[in-house]
């Protein structure tokens, strides 16, 4: 039992208390996950059959890592028999063998979001109701909320408050839609993600013999990241554990960051109420990070009112101060980060896998991907595809591909009815079959629709829709002859209905899709500027498309983790650790997000998110923010995030101290946009003078792009100065 030697006293207590309810409530990096791992090994060493152990993790990745560690301690075969995985994966497995009680076949389909949407659209259509009021995405996200709170269709109709709320929201038919949707899924033998939890609850409540069977099997239950369980998950765990009460949960209320998905922080706070005999262990020593990082994180989280006070300390080295880089633009920020990684890789012999770039929203990825690629630094984007492979990005690109090459049938089939415009599959099939029979490309048939119409066998309504669609494509092509790539792409995004369609989804995922489109447009603007500046540059759409196609090839997304820089949202970084963390985009309205800074609760969740990000780091942290960011075709000013000013000066230092930054505008008149006086040495406490540099989206980019502004950085000593152009690397 060598593994027990490396544990501190409270950790040892948690690992060796094998019977009864146990809660470990402790700060980041204090060894909670390590305790869980060791505890499982210890259970097995003490004769518990791994088959009787259920361990629930937040991500599949975490489950995999934990299993590997356990295998090292107690052998492969033991580790293999463990029940370990996410709530969804474990309970899908149980439903496969028990779902027949509820009338589901064992090979039931699991619907992803897109499948669910298709079903919902059909329901709405069949009900013949206004799909503008009852938008499929909106309706589905309401249903998801019901399901995660165990509100079944029957429960819904027995809940006057809910019905009244939907009535007030002008969605009187929600209950009927809910019923029809559930019926449709059931008829298809399918469950959506929320069903996996809802149906497990139903199974365990309605069939006591099934509950008894799994209570007997899962004699030992362990849950990591307990603070982020939702009500449905909480009830499953409670039911399963109620016989033996060998339940161990570990978590940190300060890291609860999923309330928007229904996570309920009270689950952890109420553990003592549910199990009055529970042993609670708190861990105070952080083994992950330097003292400086731990102290800074403590200061930030102490600003939250809603939290358990915890004492977290580190006995590691004091370590470097957190370095803050103030960049002029988002591109500058990305260039700094990639240059910094490059340098630390060379000078400190760091592996690329030692680095993480953490951001608030997925749409921030693109600039970093571009900057890393330029320096040939290998990277991996977690949680999703590489930027250019994301569906919404590919959809817009498919429109642009058609503009470049009408005969690209793959792109055509992707967008001909996306967003939906009434050109269904039957029509598309007829079109393709007919074009084949005439031995001409589909585009040619569309070009001569009037001529071919009698032979196509399509009714007038459909012909009109096809005609309208093709006229729109033609109009874009004409526009491309005179306008720049960015303007055309913006027009495509708008007129095709793509943006409008994506905006209907107000979930965080939906918002990030819209932001990704915005980012793609931004990248075009950057491309144009780049091409205009280089000799013989070619700012055409086909060149843009070619660049993307080539760069997508170099970024093959194989599943090897290898020696790569990790890029991910803070949400995804939970539980992980990296020697060097770059936390980027630290600006008001970005982080904290503009969506989440109106109430104290929301702001506290953003602050917890900040705490999670900071505590991922072992040795070094870099914060970056930009004073202006490209959004929706214009450069807008950004203010440093309030979280920056919440950390005491003693923990941070500015990398690029700027005492005076002068803008020389085109008329040659100097204007101070930055007024840092020695009496107020902190760069971000001072509100910066608003100055927005806008470019009218509708005017073509000038042939010769003039620098928008020149800034002069004067060293503090005043001995030397350097001119830089906004948008250039500093
Ligand atoms: P988080 O809240 O971020 O999930 P955590 O509490 O789960 O963090 P772990 O990931 O288990 O913390 O541990 C953080 C780091 O500290 C890991 O690298 C772990 O191996 C190390 N560690 C934990 N306990 C000890 C110990 N007693 N001795 C040495 N290293 C330890
Ligand atoms: Mg952990």
Check if 650 is active-site. no
What is the structure's pLDDT at 641? 95
Check if 690 is active-site. no
687 belongs to an annotated ligand binding site: no
> Which ligand does the CA of 35 lie closest to?
1
Residue with tokens 């009338």: 103
Structure tokens at 220: 């030992």
CA of 575 to the centre of ligand 1 (A): 9
37 belongs to an annotated ligand binding site: no
Q: How many C-beta atoms lie closer than 10 Å to residue 592's C-beta? A: 24
Q: In which band, very low, low, confident or very high, does the pLDDT at 302 lie, cut at 50, 70 and 90?
A: very high
Q: Is 252 in the pocket of ligand 1 (CB under 6 A)?
A: yes
Say if residue 466's pLDDT is above 90: yes
DSSP state of 684: T
Q: Is 244 in the pocket of ligand 1 (CB under 6 A)?
A: no
What is the structure's pLDDT at 561? 60
* The one catalytic residue among 11, 33, 285, 555: 33
Q: Is 38 in the pocket of ligand 1 (CB under 6 A)?
A: no
CA of 60 to the centre of ligand 2 (A): 14
Residue nearest to atom 15 of ligand 1 (CA): 288
Residue nearest to atom 19 of ligand 1 (CA): 31
Best probe residue, ligand 1, of 26, 33, 572 (max atoms within 8 Å of C-beta): 33
Best probe residue, ligand 1, of 9, 34, 58 (max atoms within 8 Å of C-beta): 34
What is the structure's pLDDT at 657? 61
Q: In which band, very low, low, confident or very high, does the pLDDT at 550 lie, cut at 50, 70 and 90?
A: low
d(CA 310, CA 304): 12
What is the tens place of the pLDDT at every residue in 345-379?
Answer: 999 999 999 999 999 998 888 899 999 999 999 99
Q: In which band, very low, low, confident or very high, does the pLDDT at 663 lie, cut at 50, 70 and 90?
A: very low
User: Which residue has better confidence, 591 or 188?
Assistant: 591
Q: Is 310 in the pocket of ligand 1 (CB under 6 A)?
A: no
Q: In which band, very low, low, confident or very high, does the pLDDT at 114 lie, cut at 50, 70 and 90?
A: low
d(CA 124, CA 127): 5
Best probe residue, ligand 1, of 29, 59, 255, 315 (max atoms within 8 Å of C-beta): 29
Mean model confidence pLDDT for the chain: 84
321 belongs to an annotated ligand binding site: no
- Predicted TM-score (pTM) of the model is 0.72
28 belongs to an annotated ligand binding site: yes
Question: Quick one: what percent of the chain has pLDDT higher than 70?
Answer: 85
Q: Is 418 in the pocket of ligand 1 (CB under 6 A)?
A: no
Closest atom of ligand 1 relative to the 287 alpha carbon: 16
Say if residue 683's pLDDT is above 60: no
Within the chain, what is the greatest distance between any pair of CA atoms? 85
> Which ligand does the CA of 57 lie closest to?
2
Check if 616 is active-site. yes
What is the structure's pLDDT at 591? 93
Residues with CB under 5 A from ligand 2 (ion): 32-33, 575
CA of 30 to the centre of ligand 1 (A): 5
Residue with tokens 């470049």: 404
Q: Is 522 in the pocket of ligand 1 (CB under 6 A)?
A: no
Q: Give the mean pLDDT of 39-43.
A: 96
Check if 310 is active-site. no
Say if residue 166's pLDDT is above 80: yes
Check if 80 is active-site. no
Q: Is 8 in the pocket of ligand 1 (CB under 6 A)?
A: yes
3-state secondary structure at position 436: helix
Q: What angle do CA 718, 724, 727 make, to 5 degrees?
A: 145
ipTM for the predicted complex comes to: 0.99
Q: Is 31 in the pocket of ligand 1 (CB under 6 A)?
A: yes
CA of 62 to the centre of ligand 2 (A): 9
CA of 579 to the centre of ligand 1 (A): 13
CA of 577 to the centre of ligand 1 (A): 9
Residue pair 16/248 in contact by the 8 Å Cβ criterion: no
Residue pair 199/225 in contact by the 8 Å Cβ criterion: no
Residue pair 597/603 in contact by the 8 Å Cβ criterion: yes
* The one catalytic residue among 224, 252, 332, 605: 224
* The one catalytic residue among 225, 354, 505, 605: 225
Q: Is 288 in the pocket of ligand 1 (CB under 6 A)?
A: yes
Say if residue 408's pLDDT is above 80: no
Closest atom of ligand 1 relative to the 30 alpha carbon: 6
Residue pair 529/705 in contact by the 8 Å Cβ criterion: yes
Residue pair 726/709 in contact by the 8 Å Cβ criterion: yes
What is the structure's pLDDT at 334? 96
d(CA 600, CA 696): 36
29 belongs to an annotated ligand binding site: yes
- Least confident stretch, 5-9, 140-144, 373-377, 694-698: 694-698
Helices 193-206 and 136-148 pack at an angle, to 10 degrees, of 30
What is the tens place of the pLDDT at every residue in 277-287?
Answer: 999 999 999 99
The CA-atom distances, in angstroms, between 383 and each of 158, 563, 569, 673 are: 39, 18, 8, 38
Instruction: Give the burial class of 112: count Cβ atoms within 10 A of its Cβ; 0-12 exposed, 13-18 middle, 19 or more buried.
Output: exposed
Best probe residue, ligand 1, of 62, 227, 257, 287 (max atoms within 8 Å of C-beta): 287
Say if residue 690's pLDDT is above 90: no
Q: Is 39 in the pocket of ligand 1 (CB under 6 A)?
A: no
What is the structure's pLDDT at 34? 95
Instruction: Give the burial class of 231: count Cβ atoms within 10 A of its Cβ; 0-12 exposed, 13-18 middle, 19 or more buried.
Output: middle
What is the structure's pLDDT at 553? 38
Check if 330 is active-site. no
The CA-atom distances, in angstroms, between 604 and each of 165, 256, 302, 625, 633 are: 27, 10, 10, 21, 31
Task: Name, of 21-35, 63-77, 404-418, the range with top average pLDDT.
Answer: 21-35
3-state secondary structure at position 719: coil
CA of 47 to the centre of ligand 2 (A): 26
Residue pair 640/625 in contact by the 8 Å Cβ criterion: yes
3-state secondary structure at position 527: helix
Cis (ω within 30 of 0) for the bond into 419? yes
Q: Give the mean pLDDT of 420-428.
A: 93
Q: Spell out the residues 6+ positions from residue 489 whose beta carbon is closer than 8 angstroms to its own.
A: 396, 400, 520, 521, 524
What is the tens place of the pLDDT at every residue in 560-574?
Answer: 568 999 999 999 899
CA of 239 to the centre of ligand 2 (A): 24
CA of 29 to the centre of ligand 1 (A): 5
Q: In which band, very low, low, confident or very high, does the pLDDT at 543 lie, cut at 50, 70 and 90?
A: confident
Say if residue 498's pLDDT is above 50: yes
Q: Is 312 in the pocket of ligand 1 (CB under 6 A)?
A: no
3-state secondary structure at position 583: strand
Residue pair 568/616 in contact by the 8 Å Cβ criterion: no
């Amino acid at each position: 039992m060598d593994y027990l030697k490396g544990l501190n006293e409270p950790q040892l207590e948690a690992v060796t208390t094998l019977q009864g309810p146990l809660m470990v409530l402790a700060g980041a990096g204090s060894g909670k996950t390590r305790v869980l791992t060791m505890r499982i090994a210890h259970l097995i060493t003490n004769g518990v059959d791994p088959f009787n152990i259920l361990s629930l993790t937040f991500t599949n990745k975490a489950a995999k890592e934990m299993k590997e560690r356990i295998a090292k301690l107690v052998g492969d075969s033991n580790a293999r028999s463990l029940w370990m995985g996410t709530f969804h994966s474990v309970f899908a497995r149980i439903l496969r063998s028990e779902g027949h009680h509820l009338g589901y076949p064992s090979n039931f389909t699991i619907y992803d979001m897109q499948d669910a949407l298709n079903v919902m659209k059909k329901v709405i259509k069949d009900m013949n109701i206004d799909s503008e009021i009852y938008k499929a995405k909106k309706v589905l996200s309401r249903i998801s909320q019901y399901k995660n709170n165990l509100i079944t269709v029957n429960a819904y109709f027995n809940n006057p408050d809910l019905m009244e709320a939907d009535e007030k929201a002008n969605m009187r038919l929600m209950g009927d839609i809910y019923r029809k949707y559930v019926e449709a899924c059931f008829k298809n033998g399918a469950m959506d993600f929320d069903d996996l939890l809802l149906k497990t609850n139903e199974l365990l409540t309605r069939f006591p013999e099934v509950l008894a069977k799994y209570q007997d099997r899962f004699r030992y239950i362990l849950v990591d990241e307990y603070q982020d369980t939702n009500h449905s998950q909480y009830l499953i765990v409670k039911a399963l554990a109620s016989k033996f009460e060998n339940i161990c949960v570990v978590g940190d209320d300060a890291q609860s960051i999923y309330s928007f998905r229904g996570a309920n922080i009270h689950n952890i706070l109420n553990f003592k109420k549910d199990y009055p005999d529970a042993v609670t262990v708190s861990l105070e020593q952080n083994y992950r990070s330097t003292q400086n990082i731990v102290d800074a994180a403590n200061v930030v989280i102490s600003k939250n009112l809603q939290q358990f006070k915890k004492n977290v300390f580190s006995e590691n080295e004091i370590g470097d101060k957190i370095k803050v880089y103030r960049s002029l633009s988002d591109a500058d920020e990305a260039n700094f980060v990639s240059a910094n990684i490059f340098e630390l890789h060379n000078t400190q012999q760091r592996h690329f896998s030692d680095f993480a770039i953490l951001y608030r929203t997925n749409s921030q990825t693109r600039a970093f991907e571009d900057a890393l690629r330029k320096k040939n630094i290998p990277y991996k984007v977690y949680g999703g595809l590489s930027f250019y492979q994301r569906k919404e990005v590919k959809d817009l690109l498919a429109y642009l591909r058609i503009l470049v090459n009408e005969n690209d049938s793959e792109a055509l089939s992707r967008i001909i009815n996306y967003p939906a415009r009434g050109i269904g599959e039957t029509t598309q099939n007829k079109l393709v079959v007919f074009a084949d029979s005439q031995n001409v490309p589909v585009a040619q048939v569309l070009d001569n629709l009037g001529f071919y119409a009698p032979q196509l066998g399509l009714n007038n309504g459909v012909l009109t829709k096809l005609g309208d669609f093709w006229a729109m494509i033609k109009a874009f092509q004409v526009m491309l002859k005179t306008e720049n790539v960015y303007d055309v792409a913006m027009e495509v995004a708008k007129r095709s209905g793509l943006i409008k369609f994506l905006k209907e989804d107000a979930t965080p995922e939906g918002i990030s899709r819209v932001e990704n489109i915005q980012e793609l447009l931004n990248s075009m603007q950057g491309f144009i500027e780049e091409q205009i500046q280089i000799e013989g540059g070619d700012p055409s759409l086909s060149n843009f498309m070619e660049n993307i196609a080539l760069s997508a090839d170099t970024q093959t997304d194989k599943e090897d983790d290898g020696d790569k820089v990790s890029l991910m949202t803070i949400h995804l970084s939970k539980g992980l650790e990296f020697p060097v963390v770059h936390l980027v985009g630290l600006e008001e309205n970005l982080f904290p997000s503009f969506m989440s800074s109106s109430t104290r609760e929301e702001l506290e969740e953003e602050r917890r998110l900040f705490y999670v990000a900071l505590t991922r780091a072992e040795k070094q942290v870099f914060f970056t923010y930009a004073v202006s960011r490209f959004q929706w075709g214009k450069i807008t000013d950004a203010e440093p995030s309030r979280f920056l000013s919440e950390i005491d000066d003693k923990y941070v230092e500015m990398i690029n101290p700027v005492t005076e930054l002068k803008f020389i505008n085109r008329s040659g008149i100097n204007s101070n946009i930055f007024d840092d006086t020695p009496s107020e040495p902190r760069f971000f406490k001072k509100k910066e003078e608003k100055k927005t540099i806008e470019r009218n989206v509708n005017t073509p980019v000038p042939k010769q792009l003039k620098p928008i502004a020149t800034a002069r950085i004067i060293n503090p000593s005043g001995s030397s100065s350097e001119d830089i152009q906004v948008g250039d690397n500093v």
